[in-house]
Amino acid sequence: MMTARRLAAAVLAVVFTSVSPSGAEVTLSSSNLPADMAIGTRLGALMGVETSSLAGLSRDRIRRLGAPFTGRGADARVMSLAELDRLGRARGNAQWRCLTEALYFEARGETVEGQYAVAEVILNRVDSANYPGSICAVVNEGTGRRNACQFTYTCDGRPEIVTDQRAWNRAGHIARIMMDGAPRDLTRGATHYHADWVNPSWARVYPRTARYGQHIFYRQQY
């Protein structure tokens, strides 16, 4: 019986040999398998997949598959600031703009992961029956009513003026990536967050799921 450590090593051996040094995708054969797993179908039986299904995966997808075992925890979608800057100018529709504004005014001073995390909260709310069904409606919920706004920047009395175009472009690209279906696995289903210098009453009720920079994230339970 194989140990979990040996099984993980076997999986990595198969995963990372499925891409050639040049990045071209190749077809796996049983000769690529480690000595103690010479029969390809054995790996398929253990993992629930055929080894041939690994052929055709992108390099980023293979990196994501290997991350838990190689210690590379970085999510392939979470680009560095320099990588986001190389994407140029971001564009989108009205819903995209609402999400971009929220990221810019709520989280542009946070890490890249922190900005993704705020995007997750907004999109998780869109998908929840407890909140409106569009990004703009979620972001602007309660705006104009005393103590009812859900996002501070919509009711702080300050005009929403973009003064940092680079930060705006970064937020725009993150918004686009998340709207296009990127995984929401940074906050474990969070629907709320607050800065670490405040202590809202709901923070004592909802389970805490994550923290990025100055923002602490929670998941609503009802």
Q: Where are the domains of the chain?
A: 4-70, 81-218
Would you state the pLDDT for residue 78? 79
Distance of CA 80 to the CA centre of its chain: 13
Which of 66-75, 182-191, 211-220 shows the lowest per-residue confidence on average (mean pLDDT)?
66-75
Q: What phi and psi, each to the nearest 5 degrees, are found at residue 22?
A: -85, -5
Q: How far apart are CA 173 and CA 87, in angstroms?
A: 8
Is the model's pLDDT at 90 over the cut of 90? Answer: no
Give the mean pLDDT of 33-45. Answer: 44
Residue identified by tokens 């602007």 is 140
Give the mean pLDDT of 3-17. Answer: 42
Give the mean pLDDT of 89-114. Answer: 94
For 92-99, the CB contacts below 8 A with 24+ separation are: 92/172, 92/175, 92/176, 92/179, 94/136, 95/134, 95/135, 95/136, 95/179, 96/135, 96/172, 96/175, 96/176, 96/179, 98/135, 98/136, 98/139, 98/140, 99/123, 99/135, 99/139, 99/175, 99/178, 99/179
Q: Which pTM was predicted?
A: 0.65
Residue 211 bridge partners (DSSP): 216
